[in-house]
Structures are given as structure tokens and as C-alpha cells.
Amino acid sequence: MPEVQTTVGVIGLGSMGLGMAQTLATKGFRTLGFDLSADRRKLAEDAGVLPQSTIADLVAASAFLVFSLPTAQDVRSVVEGHLDLLKGKTGQRVIIIDTSTSEPDVSRDLAKRLEALGHGFLDAPVSGGPAGAASGKLTMMIGGSEEDLALARPVIEAMAAKALHVGPSGAGNVAKLVNNLLAAAHMITTSEGLKLALAAGIDPEAALRVVNAASGKSMISEVHFPTWVMSDRFDSGFSMGLMRKDVRLAKKLADSTGAQLPLAEQVASLWAGSTELADSDDFTRMGAFKAKN
């Protein structure tokens, strides 16, 4: 419980943001919340969060802002739409902790512009899914200054079991795109491995048990396949559309840096080309899609 009750405003109360807001409220922060959806605001209110009718109300009252928004464009438009309000908040350094999976260039640009107004911006994307958000056990990868991280640490530690400072602004986004490129690849490689087992007359469940006791395992094979793919549940809470975005951003980063990644090219084309699956489908369906086709 913080000594003086700190006010944290959470913008975006979706699969991740709602859990994070609930965690902050449970841990004693005065937690305000805003989402475009009235249904999400109501769910947040039921979870002990104080819903706000506008982002401006939330920004005006908060010392820390936690973003959990779909894309870098959403993050940019929320910040740009409230720069005047933030400019007026003198005498208090507001820190934005952006947990969205966003773009390094956008984070760097926003951090620079907010710094000029005396405020801080940390790119702080997360891993751990809705369950990690709701239990305060996320892994967070952070880009930004040591000073802003020190200020934000109590809020970050309430949400994350592991908080890794990767480097300056944008570094957290780069690390997250690397991570999700690997997770996207593992979803395909694990599924292809099980498809091979099946084609060769081995029970895929038995093959998966072997992989998870041997060197082929990943978190995708250890957690996602048993929990969401083999069980046919497909309700991990992370959408195809958001994973497609991450793979697209990883490819964009490879193109802009000149990194030659032949397997990543193939992964990107498989995620973009799996048109049987809608953006609204759970991303774990990609494992089953590949096993059956």
C-alpha cells in the first residue's frame, strides 16, 4: 500500500488494461480508468476502478498514466490530443507508462516531446497475458531514462513480477517485437512439429510431452499448446489481429534496420496470409490452423 495514495490513470481497459487497473486498485493506488467502451468502463468500476467520462478528466487528476491501447497510432493520438493539458500540469512530472505493444520511433518521438513539457514517457510493453495482468505478475520490458523508471517503479512493481530496463526510449518496444516474433514463430514451428508427428503415426499429445521434456520446448509449447490449442479452448485473450500487428512491426523493424531474417519473412507471410482466421479470433487458433492444414 503506498504511503500517500498515488493516483494512477489507466487508459484502455481491454483484456490487459482491465486486469492492470484492477491490480493497481487492489494494491492501494487510487485508480482511475477510461475506455471508449462503456461496457469496459462498467467492468472496471465493478473491479474497484473509478471510471472517468473523458481522458482529459483522467489526465488532469493523475500522477501516473498507464496506457494499454491497441496500436502506436492510438497511443500517439491520445498523447497528442492532451498535450495542452499536460503542458498546464506544471510542478509535477507526470510519467506515462505505455504498456501497449507499440513502435520504437513513436515512443522516442513522444518521449522527446513530453520531456520538453517536463513529463516522462516510458515504453513498457508487457508479456504474460490477461492472467498476468490480473495477478500483477507481468514481465515488463522498459525503454526510457533511469530517473523516470525510478519515479515509476512503485506503479511498475505493482503490475509486474519482472521489470527489465532494456535501454533508452524505444528499447522496450524493440525487445517486445523480438519476443513476439519468436512467439509467433513458435506457434507455427510447434504446430508443424505436431503435424509431422501425426503424419508419421505418433500421437501429437505424446510428441508434445516429449518436446516439453526436451530441447524443442518454448513457452508456446509448454503453456499455450496444452492450455489453449490441444484443449480446443482458444481463449487466451490475445487476438489474431494484435499478433498480426506485432509480426508486421517486427518485419518493418527488420526492413528499416537492414537485418536479413529469412525465417522471419516466412513467419510474417504465414501470419498475414492465414485469411481463414479473422483478426477477432484468438491467436492460439494459428496453432490448430497449421496442425490441420
- Which of the residues are catalytic? 176
Q: How far is the CB of 291 from ligand NAD (least distance, A)?
A: 21
Q: Cell digits for 241?
A: 489481429
Q: How far is the CB of 189 from ligand NAD (least distance, A)?
A: 20
Which one-letter DSSP state was computed for residue 232? S
Q: How far is the CB of 50 from ligand NAD (least distance, A)?
A: 15
Q: Give burial (CB, 10 Å; 0-12/13-18/19+) of 105.
A: middle
Nearer to ligand NAD among residue 132 and residue 204 (C-beta): 132
Nearer to ligand NAD among residue 114 and residue 197 (C-beta): 114
Contact indicator for 51, 10 with CB cutoff of 8 Å? no
Q: What distance in Å separates the CA atoms of residue 125 and residue 123, rounded to the nearest whole number?
A: 6
For residue 264, give the amino acid letter: A
Q: How far is the CB of 260 from ligand NAD (least distance, A)?
A: 26
Contact indicator for 144, 114 with CB cutoff of 8 Å? no
Nearer to ligand NAD among residue 260 and residue 280 (C-beta): 280
Which one-letter DSSP state was computed for residue 288? H
The bridge status of strand 120-123 relative to strand 30-34 is unpaired
Q: Which residues bind ligand NAD (CB under 6 A)?
A: 11-17, 34-37, 40, 68-70, 74, 78, 100-101, 126-127, 129-130, 237-238, 242
Q: Cell digits for 30?
A: 487510487
Residue number of the CB closest to ligand NAD reads 14
Query: What sign does the CA torsion over 44, 45, 49, 54 have?
Result: positive
Nearer to ligand NAD among residue 64 and residue 238 (C-beta): 238
